[in-house]
């Protein structure tokens, strides 16, 4: 049990729509990262937030954006959805006490039709 929760579990959207995915942890860790995992692939780093500010970004376009709130929960927003955005979206918190060990939530499965 990682204590990291994500909502919703599954989501179906139409191409061109916008989506918001949410992540929270029981202990309120101040570093949260988001990853995209396409079917049969390893997760790809989208971006990371540390104390409410973006702290690193992977090779994803600006229509992928995020927020981190004072309670350290986080949102991933994707605008103008494309079919290739269909994937499992994972958030992870970093336990600073363990030199950067990351614990993942169960993910949100997004299907774009």
Partner 1 sequence: KQEVTQIPAALSVPEGENLVLNCSFTDSAIYNLQWFRQDPGKGLTSLLLIQSSQREQTSGRLNASLDKSSGRSTLYIAASQPGDSATYLCAGTGTASKLTFGTGTRLQVTL
List residues binding partner 1 (CB under 8 A): 2, 4, 6, 31, 33, 35, 40-45, 48, 55-56, 58, 88, 90, 92, 94, 98-107, 109
Min dist CB 92 to partner 1, Å, is 8
Min dist CB 41 to partner 1, Å, is 6
DSSP code string of 58-73: -S--TTEEEEE-TTS-
DSSP reduced 3-state for 84: helix
Q: Which is nearer to partner 1, 35 or 72 (CB)?
A: 35
- Among 68, 57, 61, smallest CA distance to 85 is for 61
Min dist CB 71 to partner 1, Å, is 20
Q: Is the peptide bond before 104 cis (omega within 30 degrees of 0)?
A: no
């Amino acid at each position: 049990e990682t204590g990291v929760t994500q909502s919703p579990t599954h989501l179906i959207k139409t191409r061109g729509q916008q989506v918001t995915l949410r992540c929270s942890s029981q202990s309120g860790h101040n570093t949260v990262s988001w990853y995209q995992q396409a079917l049969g692939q390893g997760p790809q780093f989208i971006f990371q937030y540390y104390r409410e500010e973006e702290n690193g970004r992977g090779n994803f376009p600006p229509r992928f954006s995020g927020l981190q709130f004072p309670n350290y929960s986080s949102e991933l927003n994707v605008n103008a959805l494309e079919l290739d955005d269909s994937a499992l979206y994972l958030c992870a918190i970093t336990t600073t006490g363990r030199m950067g060990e990351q614990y993942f939530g169960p993910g949100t499965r997004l299907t774009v039709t």
